[in-house]
Structure 1
Amino acid sequence: MSTRVLPRRRTTAAATLAGVLGALLAGCGIRPTEVPTDYGAAPSRASCTLSAPETGARSAEDGIPVQVFLVCASQLVLADRSAQLPERPAAADRLRVARALLDQLERLPSATERQVGYTTDIRRLTVRGPRSGDPADTLRLSTAPEDLSAFALAQLVCTYANSAAADDRGGVTLGGPEAEPLRRYECPAEVRSRPSTEAPPNTVVERD
């Protein structure tokens, strides 16, 4: 009984083709690999640009124009809002300003803002004024600043630093509900452009 040998033309041709492709890749300086290559996440489709500021028609009841920082494409962007505040808030209005801005940060972005990619990372947060022994410009949060997400802390610090809630040097002193140290935070450009990796620079503030 004879054994029939199957044709090997296809196998030989495939091997030859693989060899030729490997040589071509090597000649171009590209090493062939069977390991999948990760080129990172796909580019964001968010435009982060509104066609026009969302000001609309405001009455005296709407309040004065204010700005808060929202998140878009892993960056902070300024968004226009309105709040019931004095036209020219003074240092005595710091807590009032801080509360009004926090309300706006917690508010869900409008449909138009969501369409271009705006979001907010701040939820269920309240702010109080200084305790006995705190510097006069202290703002105490219901959650310790270091327990906030990177985006939430950057949003809050940059919004306050850009407002009448800031101190005379453009920073903001924040604390939590417990006895943890107070810290003075600032919002440089790198925090606004990379809030997930660049934490707001801060220094410990002494209490009396």
Structure 2
Amino acid sequence: MRRRGAAVALLAAGLLAGLSGCGIRATEVPTEFGTAPSRVPCTRSAPDVSAQSAAGLPVQVFLICGSQLVSVDRSVTLADGRSANDRVDLAQALLDELRELPSGAEDKAGFSSDVRSALTVRGPQRGDPERALRLSTPPERLSAFARAQVVCTLVHGVGAGEEAVLLGGTQEDSALRSYRCTDEVRARPEVVPVPSGSVG
């Protein structure tokens, strides 16, 4: 029995040495203790996307997946008599989508949203540029993830080709700022601040 046990131990040591020698880490070999965790795909199935888009106006919102921002296809329904050309109504529909719980397919793919409280939006106040949007919660009071989600969604949704969106709070003393959605922000929204600048 001792000889047999020694032989098994020697064989196991030889296998481990062979694996390390060919560049494969021994800890990544499947064992009876379970498989290694799989990577989150951050994509939804095509049928789910098409079904969503067919229900209304196709839009894109930015959700969180794997600590990054990823664009997701959604659809919104605007009030009667409104169109996608109405920036305020479209912006409100996009903000409402960010607060919606992820669909079954989105949740399965690992998507989530940090926009949890209701956000309302108004058009420009007196003295604001025409394309300014005023939020019930100023962008600087949102969490890092939520601010990045809101900015990137609005830049791509109502930006009309602009690289930035003008946002501020609804209070009279709330400063209006220009916010940009960059590759760095989308890659690391919790670490990289959303670039912003004052509006004269």
Q: Write the distance in 2 (CA, Å) between the matches of 1:202 and 1:135.
A: 16
2:145 corresponds to 1:140:
no
Match of 1:55 among 46, 50, 62: 50
Distance 1:171 1:149 in 2: 19
CA RMSD of aligned residues (A): 2.4
TM (norm. structure 1) is 0.70
Which position in structure 1 is the counterpart of 2:100? 107
Output the amino acid matched with 2:84.
P
Number of residue pairs matched? Answer: 160
TM-score by length of 2: 0.72
- C-alpha distance 167-104 of structure 1, shift in aligned 2 (>3 A): same
Task: Give the equivalent residue in structure 2 for 1:190.
Answer: 184
Q: Name the residue aligned to 1:4.
A: none
1:180 deviates by 2.3
Report 1:124-163 matches (<5 A).
124=117, 125-163=119-157
Q: Which runs of 4+ in 1 moved over 4 A?
A: 85-88
User: For the residues of structure 2 that align with 1:177 and 1:202, how far apart are their CA atoms?
Assistant: 18
Q: Are 2:185 and 1:204 equivalent residues in the alignment?
A: no
2:89 equivalent among 91, 96, 107: 96
Once residues 53 and 94 of structure 2 are traced to their aligned partners in structure 1, the CA distance between those partners, rounded to angstroms, is: 18
Whichever of the two has the greater Rg, that structure is 1
Structure 2 counterpart of 1:175, from 168, 171, 180 = 168
Q: Which has the higher helix share?
A: 2
Shift of residue 175 of structure 1?
Answer: 0.3
Match of 1:68 in 2: 61
Query: What does residue 6 of structure 1 align with?
Result: none
> 8 Å contact 2:53–2:73 — kept in the other structure?
no
Structure 2 letter corresponding to 1:55: S
SS for the counterpart of 1:160 is: helix
Q: Residue deviations 1:23-68, cap 9 Å, x none?
A: xxxxxxxxxxxxxxxxxxxx88432122325221765xx3221110
Contact 1:183 1:205 in 2 (8 A): yes
3-state secondary structure, aligned to 2:167:
strand
- % of aligned pairs identical? 50
Unaligned runs of 5+ in 1: 1-42
Cα distance, 1:57–1:184 mapped onto 2, change above 3 Å: closer
Closer, same or farther: CA 57–98 of 1 in aligned 2, 3 Å: closer
